[in-house]
Amino acid sequence: MTRQTSIEVINQLKDLLNQINSNEYTESLAVLNESSIGQHVRHTIEFFQCLIKGSLTGIVDYDARERNLLIETNLLFALNVLTEIEHSVATEPNLYRTLKIKVNYGENNFEFIESNFMRELVYMIEHSIHHFALIRIGIQENFRHIQIEPTFGVAYSTIKYKQEILAFEN
């Protein structure tokens, strides 16, 4: 279920990106503190890339992102990378393999936290949805012609809660 949900999240982003053009993708938006949709997409993609790379080495370091400007400036390239990530997630052979997550909250002090690929997929889902919410705000404020799915950028727990409230009211 978690693997499939993470793939659905990736596809939500791909579906949205297929509706925008390159200028919309790279435009600095005041409502996003002058960042672009592309910058939020790059950030989201690179977290997935860190996890995939870490699944091969056993150590995941989310601070060691490449910060590849091509992802944030080239819409087609970003879509292709998302397809690669989707394939990697779909074919990961050992979802419960132990991983060490490298964290560094000081200048030179770091530690390793034990996790596994599946637990980190949960993090990827939540982290992605957070950035999707920001992307949603940018689109709603600047590109009103783009159709956004009602659940894009909304946490699964919020969707479920709203459904329960509606069911209770009816």
> Which residues make Cβ contacts (< 8 Å) with residue 154, sequence separation at least 6?
129, 133
Buried b (16+ CB within 10 A) or exposed e, 57-78: eeebbbeeeeebeebbbbbeeb
- CA gap 145, 127 in Å, rounded: 26
The whole-number pLDDT of residue 166 equals 77
The whole-number pLDDT of residue 162 equals 84
In the chain, what are the domains? Answer: 2-169 (1.20.120.450)
How far CA 1 is from CA of 11, 32, 67, 108, in Å, comes to 15, 32, 30, 38
When pLDDT is cut at 50, 70 and 90, the band that residue 163 belongs to is: confident
The whole-number pLDDT of residue 109 equals 85
Write out pLDDT tens, residues 74-115. Answer: 999 999 999 999 999 999 999 999 999 999 987 778 999 999
